[in-house]
Amino acid sequence: MDVSDLIDVAAIMPALKANSKKQLLQLLSERAAALSGIPEREVFDTILQRERLGSTGVGNGIAIPHGKLAGVKRITGVFARLESPVDFEALDDQPVDLVFLLLAPEGAGADHLKALSRIARVLRDADTVAKIRGTRDAAAIHTLLSQTPASHAA
């Protein structure tokens, strides 16, 4: 499973403005709803419910909010590069400026975990993250997210 299977260029917001974690999640939910046909409120409530279990801010300015929804047909994502970082109650207490929202069908099970792992692996790559932070071009961000980090570790 490649990240390119999880996200389309239309799902990338390369210069998002948000003032808070809640507003950020609302904006991501809005885009996910527009792309998936799932009601925005349903997406937002699912993501918020997951955040209450513990922040999905994984550190280094990165968050991977996620959730499972009945109406989702396939695992899909929305990515945002923020103009200014927001407090996300991340594990390292650093504000977040890169966010990959992942939605999965209710019965996704292991595939949901594989997708999360794949995204985390890509966003752990310092070179990739630096390049993403340096561009406001959605197609360029999509290409960077779609690359296998190991390919430039040689």
Q: Do you know the residue count of the chain? A: 154
pLDDT 10s digits, 29-86:
999 999 999 999 999 999 999 999 999 999 999 999 999 999 899 999 999 999 999 9
Angle between helices 40-53 and 21-36 (to 10 degrees): 140
Half-sphere exposure of 145 (CA within 13 A, CB side): 31
pLDDT 10s digits, 89-128:
999 999 999 999 999 999 898 999 999 999 999 999 999 9
Half-sphere exposure of 116 (CA within 13 A, CB side): 17
Whether residue 112 lies in the annotated active site? no
**Domains defined for the chain, CATH in brackets:** 3-149 (3.40.930.10)
The answer, as to whether pTM is greater than 0.85, is yes
Residues 6+ apart with CB under 8 A from 114: 1
Q: Which of 73, 71, 79 is nearest to 119 (CA)?
A: 79
Record the tokens describing residue 19, joined without a space: 């003032």
